[in-house]
Structure 1
Amino acid sequence: MPAVVVVGGHWGDEGKGKIIDLLAGRFTYNVRYSGGANAGHTVVNHLGKFALHQIPSGVFHSGVKAMIGAGVVLNPATLIEEIDSIKSRGINLSNLHVSERAHLVMPYHLAIDKARDNCRGDRRIGTTGKGIGPAYTDKAARDGIRAGDMLDKDYFLSQVRANALIANQYLECVLNSPAIDVEELVFQASEWCAALSPLICDTEDLIRLALRRGEWVVLEGAQGTLLDLDCGSYPYVTSSLTTSGGACAYLGIPPKDISHVVVVMHAYMTRVGEGPFPTELNDDYGDYIRERGHEFGTTTGRPRRCGWFDAIASKYAAEINGATTIAITKLDVLDGLDKVRICVGYEYRGERISHFPARSQVLAECVPVYEELDGWETSTSEAKSWEELPEKAQDYVRRIEELLEVPVSIISVGPARNQTIVVKDPLD
């Protein structure tokens, strides 16, 4: 069986964790392929509620091998905390593995991340402050430290010390920020070796072997398509490739081995941090969606910006990911509204456009053109099938299908695993 990619279609926070948890029981491997501890995937199942930041969302299925792949930038300290937290709740993590090629996020990356964003002033990006950008910068500059380096402790500690000394020069002399304690970091790094070395292996080789054997592999993206370094609303993006193509690039998987791409989208739009957001609602509707949807960042706790569904941005995401199907989450959040809107175009300086602009300064000036539909003033959270959804809710989903030209196979009407309607098998 070729690989299946589950990727976010908006600016992140679309509910990928729930969809992965729903599907993962059918797979042998669940591989997280991008991002880092800046991502937060929430899973609610029979074991409780879990907020995952680096560990793949399918880890709760005992037969699934969970892997943190080469494209991830891994924070060793917070990974150890996350492992301990999950184990303390009785979850077996014996099937968790970390790629030798995954780069590490060090404490000096966090310090640089925060200091640099503060230096931007009005041009600040609003990063999570988790050190993701600086870690990817070191990776691209060939100055990074990889998880596999921990398998040779002496070499690893020498690299940590050398890189920390250079980072301190940058912090003090360029960013005018306090230096980190190098020897304290080296001591911490020694502890990381003991805790994480048993998990580290060549995960990418194992994935390719699994694909050759015909085993099912699900590849888990982080953040969302509109935050992709190249395809997103640059510069208000993350530092990695968040699309389905990123899975191939980061894991060394040929594109021909990907058979299905499930693009996950809210029934509305959200965004955390800075950047243009054409359908953003700074009114009672926006407050209603935020409160009903509990739209606060899993990683940062920051209130998410909320708005109507943007079919222009969403179709762009579906196209560049090669979406074979769409999963719509949080449809229930729109319950009770008398009217709902879908953005079907933009107006830019008096002209109608129907594409997602490459330049953020253009997107910032785009005025949404809306299509209004009747809302459904009743609950969807108890619906177990398509037929049980209110007719107006069905109309809303059908209209999204028409605009995106991709079928909707999964509809989430609540946070729990059993609050999910499978309209059709997403892997057919």
Structure 2
Amino acid sequence: MSGSGSMCPTEAQNGGSCGAARDPRVIGRAVGNKVTVVLGAQWGDEGKGKVVDLLAQDADIVCRCQGGNNAGHTVVVDAVEYDFHLLPSGIINPNVTAFIGNGVVIHLPGLFEEAEKNERKGKGLEGWEKRLIISDRAHIVFDFHQAVDGVQEQQRQQQAGKKLGTTKKGIGPVYSAKAARSGLRICDLLSDFHDFSERFKVLAMQYKAMYPTLEVDIDGELEKLQVYVEKIQPMVRDGVYFMYQALHGPPKKILVEGANAALLDIDFGTYPFVTSSNCTVGGVCTGLGMPPQNVGEVYGVVKAYTTRVGIGAFPSEQNNDVGELLQTRGKEVGVTTGRKRRCGWLDLVLIKYAHMINGFTALALTKLDILDVFSEIKVGVAYKVDGELIPHFPANQEVLQKVEVQYETLPGWNSDTSGARTFEDLPEKAQKYVSYIESYLEVPVKWIGVGKSRESMIQVF
């Protein structure tokens, strides 16, 4: 090989050549651009869309790495409220390129309905088709996946008397098909439609065999899917190469928008009442096809109290006037489901657990203004089971259901914070509430939300 005149691949890329002159210190040194990651630290609905919207004003690329249209992010710009489910909410910045990674599962009708609905609301989504890139490795959610989701929930109710509380968007079934290696991806749809159709029919018949009551309009759904071939063709790219070029090309600001949240993670959440993807920091690498050394800042988004949609253990839940007041003042209704959210005090044991997994470098504390009317505010700081303190967040749901939360009671500030635009504008007791959270978690709070609009996010210097 030495006489062939060829260069080693690494040297060829760097303009060098093979041989003894190679400096081993260079190998593996180049990392490229770092990505900033925004993740939910509770059970979702923390206000990630608002934080992403703020950061996206200065971003070049905003990515979604997992989940599907079971997620819901709300962004308010110029008094217009936009709801995002599949599209990265950073796409509202006209200078941003939005990327849907391979870890996301895509319901194509839902994607276009969402884009068109938001486009009608204002100018925020103008030209979105030219700014959206979709990974060719992303799996497709079919209408029958959504139907199966509903059938499975009915079966759980009939057989065990307990549902999981899914969004019925087909997320569990499509991730199951992915793991079973029977799923279909965007690249399959665009490659050979005849071959795709045959595989689609096989998959549909498998589901019909499992669920005899399931109705699948095979020809009708294929007809709809064929329409999307032409629509999405210009948007689809090899996601691995897209990310590699973004990371190793000219300096770029890359933002990753996590969907769902830490306690809904398939591995680390309150299983089985979780989503079907990894919505902690590991999902960023697997869902975008990028190495961990390119992960930079990891921002955890924390609501100033705790909410949860659906069923499952919720240690700090307040089934009383406190919970009702939080629900009413916070307008706690799911963006995707329309269901009322259960509400309770801030649980720092839960947040600490999320921090252990994600390694948050800073926090965004949202909806602080909802606490303005409380004369005292409780914060969960420890768990007891059968009268004994436990040093961890329990994996077992039955144990978590038995948890007795130990609270620290802090004084409320009983004044309106919605007009605050600096940390110093906040009442002293509100400042102390924020400082208490920072001290317990040993993570700085970088942003504080005191309202719905972009201008209501206080940056703490």
Match of 2:428 in 1: 391
Contact 1:4–1:260 (Cα < 8 Å) also in 2: yes
Equivalent position SS for 1:43 = strand
The match for 1:100 among 136, 143, 149 is 136
Instruction: Provide the residue aligned with 1:156 in structure 2.
Output: 196
In the alignment, what sits opposite 1:118? 154
User: What is the aligned counterpart of 2:319 among 265, 268, 282?
Assistant: 282
What residue number does 1:370 align with?
407
2:380 aligned counterpart, secondary structure? strand
Provide structure 1 residue ranges, at least 5 long, that are not aligned to the other structure.
Answer: none
The residue that corresponds to 2:287 in the other structure is: 250
Aligned to 1:349: 386
**Residues 1:227 and 2:267 are matched in the alignment:** no
Alignment partner of 1:51 is 2:83: yes
**Which secondary structure does the structure 2 equivalent of 1:218 belong to?**
strand
Within 5 A, what are the aligned runs for 1:31-180? 31-46=63-78, 48-88=80-120, 89-90=122-123, 91-92=125-126, 93=128, 94-121=130-157, 122-152=161-191, 153-172=193-212, 177-180=213-216
Sequence identity, in percent?
A: 43
Q: CA deviation at 1:47?
A: 6.6
C-alpha distance in 1 between matches for 2:277 and 2:245: 26
- Matched with 1:320 is 357
- Paired residues of 2:83 and 2:118 also in contact (CA < 8 A): no
Residue 112 of structure 1: how far off its partner (Å): 1.1
Equivalent-residue separation in structure 1 for 2:203 and 2:338 (angstroms)? 31
Q: What is the deviation of 1:209?
A: 1.1
Q: Structure 1-normalised TM-score? A: 0.96
Separation in 1 of the partners of 2:206 and 2:392?
A: 44
Tell me the CA shift for residue 86 of structure 1: 2.7
Q: Distance in 1 between matches of 2:237 and 2:67?
A: 19
Q: Distance in 2 between matches of 1:14 and 1:305?
A: 13
Tell me by how many angstroms 1:182 deviates: 1.3
Distance 1:58 1:202 in 2: 21
SS in 1 for 2:373: coil
> Could you tell me the TM-score, scaled by structure 2's length?
0.89
Q: What SS does structure 1 have at the residue aligned with 2:438?
A: helix
Q: Deviations over 1:345-371 (max 9, x none)?
A: 111011112421111111111011110
Equivalent position of 2:236 in the other structure: 200
Letter in 1 for 2:404: V
Distance 1:41 1:138 in 2: 26
Q: Which runs of 5+ in 2 are unaligned?
A: 1-32
Find the residue that maps to 1:335 and give its secondary structure.
helix
Q: Which residue of the partner structure matches residue 6 of structure 2?
A: none
Q: 2:456 aligns with which of 384, 405, 419?
A: 419
Is the contact between residue 243 and residue 289 of structure 2 (CA under 8 Å) also seen in structure 1? Answer: no
CA contact (8 A) 1:165 1:182 kept: no
SS across alignment from 1:421: strand
- SS of 1:77's equivalent in the other structure is helix
- Higher-Rg structure is 2
Q: Aligned-pair RMSD on alpha carbons?
A: 1.2
Q: Could you tell me whether the CA contact under 8 Å between 2:72 and 2:85 is conserved in 1?
A: yes
8 Å contact from structure 2 (residues 148, 214) kept in 1: no
Amino acid at match of 1:137: S
Q: For 1:97, give the aligned amino acid.
A: I
Shift of 1:23: 0.2
Q: Conserved in 1, the CA contact under 8 Å of 2:184 and 2:200?
A: yes
**Structure 2 CA distance for aligned equivalents of residues 393 and 47 of structure 1:** 26
Residue in structure 2 matched with residue 189 of structure 1 by the alignment: 225
Please say if residues 150 and 197 of structure 1, whose CA atoms lie closer than 8 Å, have aligned partners that are also in contact. Answer: no
- For residue 51 of structure 1, give the secondary structure of its aligned residue in structure 2: strand
Contact 1:157 1:189 in 2 (8 A): no
Separation (CA, whole Å) in 2 of partners of 1:150 and 1:120: 33
Task: Output one character per residue of 1:316-349: Cα deviation in whole Å (capped at 9) or x when no partner.
Answer: 1112101000000000111111010000011101
Q: Does 1:21 align with 2:60?
A: no
Structure 2 CA distance for aligned equivalents of residues 249 and 186 of structure 1: 29
Stretch moving more, 179-188 or 128-137: 179-188
- Name the CA distance, whole Å, in 1 between partners of 2:440 and 2:399: 22
Contact 1:267–1:329 (Cα < 8 Å) also in 2: yes
Output one character per residue of 1:90-109: Cα deviation in whole Å (capped at 9) or x when no partner: 32202011111111111111
CA contact (8 A) 2:239 2:289 kept: no
Aligned to 1:4: 36
> What whole-Å deviation, never above 9, does each CA across 1:185-211 have from its counterpart, x for those lacking one?
111111222222221111332122111
1:112 partner amino acid:
V
